[in-house]
A = this chain, B = another copy of it.
Amino acid sequence: MEKEILPEALHKAIEHISKLPGYGEKSAQKFVENLLKLPKGESIDTIRALLDMLNKINPCKECGLLTEHEICNICSDENRDKSIICVVEESFDAFAIEKTGKFKGVYHVLHGRLSPLEGITEKDLNIPSLVKRAEKATEIIIATNPTIEGEATSTYIYNLLKNKDIEISRIAYGLPFGASLENADTFTLSKALEGKRRI
């Protein structure tokens, strides 16, 4: 939308939002339009919540997980097994795993994945501190996403750590619960067959 047609403050807000990954001009416009439609108190509260988040949330100094503290609740929890490290691409991946309640170790957040196409190399990822943390670990579970980039990242980390005395595993590939075999892609089905376990 041309600058001269929209009021300046509206134009600027749309411009900022449209720079977020996944947003274009139209979706940014929809976002601010919806925000403006909220009762004034609610919209201000929403912005305050975002500002509060930006001010309070930072990566844990130990594992990189988004937290309000210097060291996250998981790293500072004495009941978590510090010798088992689960490596994830993003904090929300760790939060998703937490939701299962099945993992009692700690995390390591890479803040991304290797992606030559996007120009993301190992230098852009939280890898040096993983190598350091791995010294004290007995087990590393690599839980990067099951994508080309996630696999490449997993292989890179495996090669970095394979000569150390650590058990390194990769989160299992298979059919997602509720999926239909008929519609699964060949790669997933092959992996599901390879990973078969006795019942």
Contact = CB atoms under 8 A, between A and B. Distances in A.
Interface stretch (A13-21, A80-88, A133-141, A156-164): A13-21
A199 interface: no
Interface residues of A, number: 58
Contacts of A2: 99
Contact of A52 (B13, B21, B30, B35): B13
A129 B35 CA distance: 24
Given A16-B49, A54-B43, A33 B68 contact: no
A145 B185 CA distance: 39
Interface in A157-177: none
A54 B49 contact: no
A22 interface: yes
A13 B49 contact: yes
A49 B13 CA distance: 5
Contacts of A22: 30, 34
A9 B95 contact: no
Nearest to A26: B183
A181 interface: no
A193 interface: no
Given A2-B99, A35-B53, A47-B51, 11 more contacts: A1-B96, A6-B95, A12-B49, A16-B49, A16-B50, A17-B46, A22-B34, A23-B34, A26-B183, A32-B53, A43-B54
